[in-house]
Amino acid sequence: MPSRQELWTGRRTRSSSSNTAKLYEVQKYCSLTNHIWSGFHVGFNVNAWKKLPADLQALVIETFTAEVRAQRQDFLKMTQDEQMTLTAKGMVFNTPDIEPFREVLAKSGFYLEIKNMVGSQQAWDLLQKYVGNLG
């Protein structure tokens, strides 16, 4: 934990961490680069899943899909509320142009490597639907 006399030149966390840890005391600016993704994963035993009747599988998928959407909305609201709180405490938020970062990642082959790891064109297309073309 930094003391109030220390200067931070950079770090990587969610804005909610900034408030909880009182990082606004040592951090004046926050750039919203959206370069981190936090996911919540649910796993099932494949054999147990296959034993479930189709109607129960459909119910599980429907329920989890609805709850994931609700969780994302809750997370978005929490993030917006935290930004308002941190702004009131003196933190300044800015949104840099992320295209130069994307260009470097594309030229380095990073996106192609991730696409190959994903292994599914359908999943890749779905990702690009929400984040834009990744090359």
Q: Which secondary-structure segment (H or E) carries 26?
A: none
Q: How far is CA 24 from CA 16, 81, 89, 104, 122, in A?
A: 11, 15, 7, 31, 41
Residue 122 confidence (pLDDT) = 93
Residue 53 confidence (pLDDT) = 97
The whole-model pTM stands at: 0.65
pLDDT band at 13 (very low <50, low <70, confident <90, very high): low
Q: Where are the domains of the chain?
A: 1-96, 98-135
Amino acid at 63: T
In this structure, what token pair is assigned to residue 96?
């840099």
**Which are the contacts of 45, defined by CB distance < 8 A and separation ≥ 6?**
none
- Report pLDDT digits (tens) over 14-61: 655 667 777 778 888 888 887 776 667 778 899 999 999 999 999 999
